[in-house]
Structure 1
Amino acid sequence: MEVHSEHSKKAFRVVIVGAGIVGLSLSHALQLASIDHVVLERQKEIVSLRGAALVVFPGAARILDQFGILKDMQESTTPVQAEFIRWPDGSVNTNPNNHATLKEYFGIAPITLNRQSLLERLYDGLLDKSVVRTNARVERIEQDHNGVKVFMADGTFEFGDLVIGADGVHSHTRELMWDYSERTSSEPDPGMDRQAISTEYRAIYGVSDPLRFPSLGPAEVHICLDTGTSKLVFTQPGAVMWAVMYRDEYSQPPKPYQPDVSETEEVVKRFKDLKITEDITFEDLWVCKIRGGILNMEEGILEKWHSGRIVLVGDSAHKMTADIGMGANMAIESAAVLANVLQRAVAGSFRQSYHPTQPELSALFADYQSQRYIRVKQIMKLSGSTTRMRSYQSIWKRIWISHIATLPIMQKMVVKRMVASFANAPKLEYVKTRTINQHARGWRIEPENQKQVTSNVRFLYLLLLLLSGIAISYTMVS
């Protein structure tokens, strides 16, 4: 196979597979960099009703502001007015103030909305929508020293210099990349990465009619602890968005999951009496749902995100549970970092027509992964730990999340760590922000302070666990 040499006469071009949050974010970033590209979406529609709520934190919000869609998102949502951590019986454990604190630091509150709304704004905000092709299911990718040729099921194809796999946790692009690696002796064996992502938890989720729940305010967050489950409820005017995460069969690698009606009914029956608040049960939410379903909550991170002329972004490379709401945020950040790397390469090239060699692309991809790997892995582990703590997977996790993490001193340490993390989140390096105040004190925190905050949190965590262990041992002996 030889990719058509005519491509070498054209401008540098990127082929993006997948028009979800990551693919559309990449399109925004590449259009702002004046980089030619096409986005291939296998579905007929861009916007999917699958999934419930997500939270956009300040780091990702800054990137969306650079895209020009943040102001509309803020105007169509309501900042969180109250936060609750609840015991298994629905009563209140504590009332954190994280959302308000983040607004004090960054001048912007976290934004709560459903996945569908974010996709709509990303798509509607594109400067050029013609770059997005629907009904474009990728079947195979051919690559050589001239570039890539991506073939669709309908017989059409697209040329480019590289392919970005933004097609989710069950990425077909990733499978094609691994196939290429296995055929190419110069590439490392991807065998370990085939087992890198697993699933142990599932989530039954939905959106319900808020008129049925007058005890819920119009803009609240409820984190509900329990044995074996972790429950989240987000309210916004016109919607109650919720999810119940529960431990299920372990699978590595995860298998695509499509429950039938009887299986869904079994899960609903199993959890119908779970308390959300003092006067609301899971069954109450389910009965008056507008839509709902069950999803796997995959988690894991690949050791290598690229091979040849193919590179992965978002859930195709790193996936995490939903409890801390950082999955979409990490994906948007990764898209911005890859766009920065490509923009620098194109802008810094002295060639009249820039077409990087495969070794040059490998270096660019390695640079992108090195900027993202540690941060994403830390957040992924934190998310998984939070899921297991909130669902009381061990006595230590139960003690930590119920009694230690809620202490005022720990709340302050957690907020400091959150602020430091968002302060140094990546953004597009070649575009200014539009509405965000970059002089807000949160953005001015120095990177070295993060290390000290992280060290303090770890030390306090270990100290309190030790003290808890001594107390429990003393009680048992007594």
Structure 2
Amino acid sequence: MAFRVLIIGGSVAGLTLANILEQYGIDYLLLEKYDAIAPQLGASIALLPYGMQIMDQIGLLNRLLDIGEGVDCTLLRGPAAERLKDFDMFGDWLEELFGTRMTFMERQQLVQVLYDHLKDKSKVLTSCAVQTIDQTDGQVQVTTTNGDVFSGQLVVGADGVHSRVREEMWRHEAMSNLRFDVEEMRRSITCTYRCMFGISPKPEQHILNHTFKVYHHNASYLCADGPMGNMYWFAFFKNERQTTGRDIPRYTAEDEAALLAERGGDALFNDIKFKDLYESRSRATLVPLEEFVLEKSFHKRVVLIGDSFHKMLPLIGHGGNSAIESAALLADLLMDELQQNKSPPTNASIERALSTFDRRRRPRTRALQQASLDLQQLEALEDPVKKFMMLRVASSLPFEKLALLGYIQSVTPSHTLHYLPAPTRKGRFPFTDGGVQVDERPTSVTLTSCILLLTLALIGYFTSQKAISDSIIPVYALWVVESYRPAFLLSPLSL
């Protein structure tokens, strides 16, 4: 009996998996509920180095660099559009460290490129919305809303945050485990923020290849260059209260209008206000921002990847890149099983592979989810401490060093495909499953250093001593960061 994977969902995660399986020689069918691949939903996506290196391995790097726009410089601005910090070398540093820089493109374009790269497009079926999933010994059957039935040995739910596959998986879990509470699982999906994302023409005053991040109370903005004279923008807003599960709202045109009336005057950059971008938009959508990483990503022969399994705030860009990474890891684990066994994988071997997938993905995606949440809370200036840290302390630090250190720790513990050639673009830091290890410093020393750093910032702020903020704080902050390096063990930086 042959081994076939049924992929549910034809967006980034599903089509990435389809491309890898095709190149691995693993049979699959992809079922997409819409009547066309790559519908225009008005969203953009930023490919980070750890997502781009998988695109490189499957042969899409040059095509994506052609249609995307790389980030050269990132500019930080405060509530009055005042300058906080400019990362002039941000793009160059990313490329030197990891081989590629952050690259923005329309999500529709990425999906289209992934689809076009498939050799056998008969494996992709549209207008196939899932109704039920049934599992028998060694086989899974998917029945669609139009009555078609498809059979395979594994179902992969890549159908997004409102996943039908996830609901079916939970239904089967509840049937076999009376203690399993589906409603409790739904309530683990939370929503604290909402986002309006859109595409507008670049303002005349805008400098090419520059990305702006703007901080307001309970709101933050990300405005990035896109190709063909477009600007991609994201406006993040904290909700009045957190909602969960079925209570998470869906927004209407009236909600958009109310939000614009409330926040349209927010200053962004170069005399541009939020309402200026919105009013010149070609597309814009207001959506809730769900957050979760499920306690378990699979049940028997059904597994979830991408937003159906893990969803995080999008301000760093980890969501789409994590979906690509999940697809790559799952494909490698399936290939491992098929290489080791000439006969089709048994229930035990499938469960072993999916358990490994679950064990490796949950810690990584939880760390990325928490990092995204922490940064969102800071950038939205949610309380006086966070406001002071972002507007006063961070602007006095060598922030680009801290940002790159964070990127190193999030980018390098990534997965590269084991059965395809290594990425052609390489930087100073290798992509490894283990990541870059940072030597531990005693907690007491780190805490004392941070307290002293904050004290210097407070003195500089309340006494208006620019000598402190312009020279002493950057030097001391540089020591706090760089003294971790083993190469400086015998230097004064290690003291």
Residue equivalent to 2:391: 402
Say whether the 8 Å CA contact 1:420–1:445 is kept in structure 2: no
1:369 lines up with 2:358 in the alignment = yes
Residues 205, 152 of structure 1: CA spacing in aligned structure 2 closer, same or farther, 3 A cutoff? same
Residues 262, 16 of structure 1: CA spacing in aligned structure 2 closer, same or farther, 3 A cutoff? same
Q: 1:437-461, CA deviations, whole angstroms, 9 ceiling, x for partnerless residues?
A: 34x32227894743438x7999758
Residue equivalent to 2:185: 193
The correspondence of residues 125-204 of structure 1 with structure 2, limited to 5 A, is 125-185=117-177, 192-204=184-196
Say whether the 8 Å CA contact 2:411–2:431 is kept in structure 1: no
Say whether the 8 Å CA contact 1:424–1:443 is kept in structure 2: no
1:381 lines up with 2:381 in the alignment = no
1:224 lines up with 2:214 in the alignment = yes
Report the TM-score when normalising by structure 1.
Answer: 0.89
Q: Which residue, 271, 286, 292 being the options, matches 2:284? A: 292
Residue equivalent to 2:296: 304
Say whether the 8 Å CA contact 1:55–1:325 is kept in structure 2: yes
Q: Which residue, 392, 410, 428 being the options, matches 2:381? A: 392
1:437 lines up with 2:425 in the alignment = yes
The correspondence of residues 110-129 of structure 1 with structure 2, limited to 5 A, is 110-129=102-121
Deviates further, 286-295 or 408-417? 408-417
1:421 lines up with 2:410 in the alignment = yes
Deviates further, 183-192 or 15-24? 183-192
Residue equivalent to 1:39: 30
Give the drift of 1:469: 7.4
1:58 lines up with 2:49 in the alignment = yes
SS at match of 2:350: helix
Give the drift of 1:52: 2.7
Deviates further, 421-430 or 62-71? 421-430
Q: 1:385-413, CA deviations, whole angstroms, 9 ceiling, x for partnerless residues?
A: 11111011122222233333344444313
Residue equivalent to 2:330: 338
Residue 468 of structure 1 aligns with an amino acid whose one-letter code is L
Q: 1:48-86, CA deviations, whole angstroms, 9 ceiling, x for partnerless residues?
A: 322433211111101011121111111223322321000
SS at match of 1:283: helix
Say whether the 8 Å CA contact 1:54–1:328 is kept in structure 2: yes
Write the distance in 1 (CA, Å) between the matches of 2:435 and 2:19. 31
Residue equivalent to 1:74: 65
Residue 354 of structure 2 aligns with an amino acid whose one-letter code is F
Write the distance in 2 (CA, Å) between the matches of 1:444 and 1:373. 19
Write the distance in 2 (CA, Å) between the matches of 1:125 and 1:85. 37
SS at match of 1:63: helix
Deviates further, 97-106 or 15-24? 97-106
Residues 291, 456 of structure 1: CA spacing in aligned structure 2 closer, same or farther, 3 A cutoff? farther
Give the drift of 1:279: 0.8
Give the drift of 1:188: 5.3
Report the TM-score when normalising by structure 2.
Answer: 0.86
Residue equivalent to 2:472: none
Residue equivalent to 1:6: none
Say whether the 8 Å CA contact 2:53–2:425 is kept in structure 1: no
Give the drift of 1:260: 2.5
Write the distance in 2 (CA, Å) between the matches of 1:255 and 1:181. 23
Say whether the 8 Å CA contact 1:20–1:119 is kept in structure 2: yes
Residue 296 of structure 1 aligns with an amino acid whose one-letter code is P
SS at match of 2:357: helix
Give the drift of 1:424: 3.1
Residue 361 of structure 2 aligns with an amino acid whose one-letter code is R
Residue 273 of structure 1 aligns with an amino acid whose one-letter code is G
1:450 lines up with 2:441 in the alignment = no
SS at match of 2:439: helix
Residues 161, 297 of structure 1: CA spacing in aligned structure 2 closer, same or farther, 3 A cutoff? same
Write the distance in 2 (CA, Å) between the matches of 1:79 and 1:46. 25
Write the distance in 1 (CA, Å) between the matches of 2:333 and 2:297. 15
Residue equivalent to 1:468: 454
Could you say which structure has the greater relative contact order, defined with CA pairs below 8 angstroms and 6 or more residues apart?
Answer: 1
Say whether the 8 Å CA contact 1:161–1:356 is kept in structure 2: no
Give the drift of 1:283: 1.0
Write the distance in 2 (CA, Å) between the matches of 1:473 and 1:140. 63
Write the distance in 2 (CA, Å) between the matches of 1:103 and 1:458. 35
Say whether the 8 Å CA contact 1:319–1:327 is kept in structure 2: yes
Write the distance in 1 (CA, Å) between the matches of 2:309 and 2:142. 20
Write the distance in 2 (CA, Å) between the matches of 1:276 and 1:47. 31
Residue 217 of structure 1 aligns with an amino acid whose one-letter code is I
SS at match of 1:452: coil
Write the distance in 2 (CA, Å) between the matches of 1:291 and 1:34. 39
Give the drift of 1:272: 1.2
User: What is the root-mean-square deviation in Å for CA atoms of aligned residues?
Assistant: 2.6
Q: 1:400-430, CA deviations, whole angstroms, 9 ceiling, x for partnerless residues?
A: 3333334444431331331243233101110
Residues 54, 362 of structure 1: CA spacing in aligned structure 2 closer, same or farther, 3 A cutoff? same
Give the drift of 1:45: 1.7
Residues 420, 471 of structure 1: CA spacing in aligned structure 2 closer, same or farther, 3 A cutoff? closer
Say whether the 8 Å CA contact 1:299–1:321 is kept in structure 2: yes
SS at match of 2:282: strand
Write the distance in 2 (CA, Å) between the matches of 1:468 and 1:416. 20
Residues 299, 473 of structure 1: CA spacing in aligned structure 2 closer, same or farther, 3 A cutoff? farther
Unaligned runs of 5+ in 1: 1-8
Q: 1:326-384, CA deviations, whole angstroms, 9 ceiling, x for partnerless residues?
A: 11011111111111110100111132xx1422x33222111011111111111100101
Write the distance in 2 (CA, Å) between the matches of 1:154 and 1:327. 31
Residue equivalent to 1:325: 317
Write the distance in 1 (CA, Å) between the matches of 2:451 and 2:71. 31
Deviates further, 249-258 or 388-397? 249-258
Residues 112, 474 of structure 1: CA spacing in aligned structure 2 closer, same or farther, 3 A cutoff? closer
